[in-house]
Chain A
Amino acid sequence: MEIEEVYSRQQIDEAEGRQINELIARSQEPIPDPDDWLDEELKRNVLLTSVDAVLDWARRTSLWPVFCFPACCAFEFMTTAASRFDISRFGMEIVRASPRQADLMITAGTLTWKMAPQVKRIYDQMAEPKWVIAMGACAISGGIFRSSYSVVPGYNRIIPVDVYLPGCPPRPEALLYAIRMIHKKIASRSLIQEGK
Chain B
Amino acid sequence: MLADYGYVGLLLVVAIFFAVTTLLLPFSLSLPARLAIYSRKFRNYLETRFPFLARFIPPFPSPPKFMQVVPYNPSPVKSSPFECGMETIGRSWVQFNFRYYFYALVFIALDVLVVFLYPWAVQLRGLGFFGFFAVLIFIGIIIIGYLYAWKKKVLEWK
Residues of chain A within 8 A (CB-CB) of B66 are 48, 51, 191-193
B111 smallest CB distance to A (angstroms): 27
Question: Which of B64, B65, B84, B91 has a CB less than 8 Å from the CB of A99?
Answer: B84
Look across to chain B and name the residue whose beta carbon is closest to the beta carbon of A15.
B89
Which residues of A1-24 are within 8 A (CB) of B?
Answer: 1, 3-4, 6-7, 11-12, 15-16
Is B158 part of the contact surface with A, judged by Cβ < 8 Å? yes
Q: A191 and B69 in contact (CB under 8 A), knowing A1-B158, A6-B91, A124-B78?
A: yes
- Which chain B residues border A121 with CB–CB below 8 Å? 77, 84
Query: For B97, what are the chain A residues with a Cβ–Cβ distance below 8 Å?
Result: 1, 3
Output the nearest chain A residue to B80 by Cβ-Cβ distance: A125
Give the bracket for the number of chain B residues in contact with chain A: 20 to 34
Q: Evaluate contact between B77 and A193: CB separation under 8 angstroms.
A: no
Q: With a CB–CB cut-off of 8 A, which chain B residues contact A124?
A: 75, 77-78
**Within 8 Å of chain A (Cβ to Cβ): is B72?**
yes
Question: Is the beta-carbon distance between B83 and A12 smaller than 8 angstroms?
Answer: no
Which of B65, B71, B90 meets A128, CB within 8 Å?
Answer: B71
Q: Which residues of B contact A122 (CB under 8 A)?
A: 84
Interface of B is mostly: loop
- Docked Cα-Cα span, A11 to B90, in Å, equals 10
Question: Judging by beta carbons under 8 Å apart, are B77 and A194 in contact?
Answer: no
A62 at the interface (CB under 8 A from B): no
Residues of A within 8 A of B86 (CB): 16, 118
Contacts of A100 in B (CB 8 A): 83
Taking the closest CB of chain A, its distance from the CB of B87, in whole angstroms, is: 8
Q: Please give, as numbers and ranges, the residues of chain A lying within 8 Å of B90 by CB-CB distance.
A: 6-7
CB-contact partner of A194 in B65, B71, B72, B85, under 8 A: B65
Q: Which residues of B contact A98 (CB under 8 A)?
A: 83
B94 at the interface (CB under 8 A from A): yes
Taken together as a complex, chains A and B put the C-alpha atoms of A124 and B77 apart, in Å, by 7
Asked if A174 is at the interface of the complex by the 8 Å CB criterion, the answer is: no
Most chain B CB within 10 A, of A7, A121, A194, is at A121
Say whether A92 faces chain B, with CB atoms less than 8 Å apart: no
Q: For the complex, what is the distance from the CA of A118 to the CA of B91, rounded to whole Å?
A: 20
Q: Does A55 sit at the interface, judged by CB under 8 A?
A: yes
Interface flags for A106-124 (1: CB within 8 Å of B; 0: not) read 0000000000001001101
Nearest residue in B to A126 (C-beta to C-beta)? B78
A residues apposed to B, CB below 8 Å = 1, 3-4, 6-7, 11-12, 15-16, 48, 51, 55, 98-100, 118, 121-122, 124-125, 128-129, 191-194
The 5 A-B residue pairs with the shortest CB-CB distance in the complex, in nearest-first order:
A192-B66, A128-B71, A124-B77, A7-B90, A15-B89
